[in-house]
Amino acid sequence: MPSQDAALVRRQAARARALALTTVSTAGTGHIGADLSAMDILCTLYFGVLRGGPDDPDRDRFILSKAHASAAMYSVLALKGVLPEEELATFGGAGSRLSTVVSTRVPGIEFNTGSLGHGLSLGAGAALAARVQGSGRRTFVLTGDGELQEGSNWEAAMLAASRKLDNLVVIVDRNLAQKGASTEDINALEPLDDKWRSFGWAVRTVDGHDVDELLDVFRGAPIEESRPTCVIASTVKGKGVSFMERNLEWHSRRLTPDLLDQALRELEHGNDD
């Protein structure tokens, strides 16, 4: 894997974090903790993995099941040139197409999501459609760990394994947190890797902020022939900003201008190298 690929992803992730922070601060709303935990995953996919342009019917599909990480998604799409960067200032506003959960009003969004637990079902359908059509496209689905408490995920997991959909990759943003508490305090998921294996999936656990590791596993999918792939990405909610990291208050807390300045200074300092 060329080292410049990982370096590009890291640069774009730093830029996207700053955009997402500014976006939610301007709007006075959003889910910045989830945005920051998912950002390295999103940037790895969009700047190093996903194949095909928006008008290519055989393009790889990406589905953001944890749709409340919308500011992260829009920031990445802005860096890809799909959205005007200045449109981020309309996030969450009346009449804006940049709603606080993603929808197909925005270019580059494949499916409406927001009701947690449905993204994997959509992804299984998209992967099955590719199989029927004889297309080599792959489908990647990013879920939150808290939303795995929804039973629809496991119905989709059974279907994907029974149909041997090795063109399907689910990525679990395993930040161990949901609104109000730890996932393990609310409805424990562990042993999560064994659960996915028992449903017939090939599983790999990675550091969700290690771009080299993410590039390796995403580019190498499927990791087992005839099995869908589950990547459990261990992440930190609020990654990159010290006062947000692992702080459950930052699931959806308002980011004031003073705190925004502090966060942006930390990001700049952290990327001086």
pLDDT tens digit string along 19-66?
999 999 999 999 999 999 999 999 999 999 999 988 899 999 999 999
Question: What span, in angstroms and rounded, lies between the C-alpha atoms of 226 and 201?
Answer: 9
**Average per-residue pLDDT in the chain?**
95
Query: Which domains are delineated in the chain?
Result: 3-270 (3.40.50.970)
- pLDDT at residue 1, rounded to an integer: 44
Mean pLDDT, range 237-266, rounded to an integer: 95
- pLDDT at residue 271, rounded to an integer: 57
**Nearest residue to 120 via CA among 148, 146, 156:** 156
* 2: pLDDT strictly greater than 80: no
Number of H helices, E strands in the chain: 9, 7
φ/ψ bin of 52: left (φ > 0), alpha (ψ from -120 to 50), beta (otherwise): left
H or E segment to which residue 172 belongs: strand 168-174
Distances (CA, A) of 153 to 120, 138, 196, 253: 6, 19, 11, 28
Mean pLDDT, range 238-255, rounded to an integer: 94
Burial of 185: CB neighbours in 10 Å, binned 0-12, 13-18, 19+: exposed
pLDDT tens digit string along 77-102?
999 999 999 999 999 999 999 999 99
Please give the sequence-ordered ranges of beta strands (E in DSSP) within 65-146, or none if there are none: 139-144
Mean pLDDT, range 141-166, rounded to an integer: 97
Please state, for a pLDDT cut of 90, what percent of the chain lies above it. 93
Q: Let me know how long the chain is.
A: 273
**Nearest residue to 152 via CA among 131, 122, 183, 112:** 122
